[in-house]
Amino acid sequence: EGLVGQAAMEQKMIVFEKAPSDFILIRSGMGEASEQFVVVMPLVHEKVVAGVIEMASTSPLDPVKLKLLDTVAEGMAISLQGI
């Protein structure tokens, strides 16, 4: 199950830096770029995984941004579990 399965099983965020150039390609109407940074974030509330989000970036995420993602993840899990 790869990084998504690992993040769900461990219930911990995985930050993957310097990904291979063919790992994920970011595309938009203005062009495309190979990302180098991947964050795989499980959405967990009360030890129940509601989902996993995988994000890619062309620049590293600083500790403040990673903390924000971690904080928002529980709220997203609560919302998903309420559906």
Instruction: Name the token pair of 57.
Output: 């970036």
The pLDDT value given to residue 41: 95
Q: Is 24 helix (H, G, I), strand (E, B) or coil?
A: coil
Its pTM stands at 0.78
11-63, pLDDT tens digit by residue? 999 998 876 666 666 677 776 766 678 889 999 999 999 999 988 887 888 89
Quote the CA–CA distance of 50 and 42 in Å, as a whole number: 8
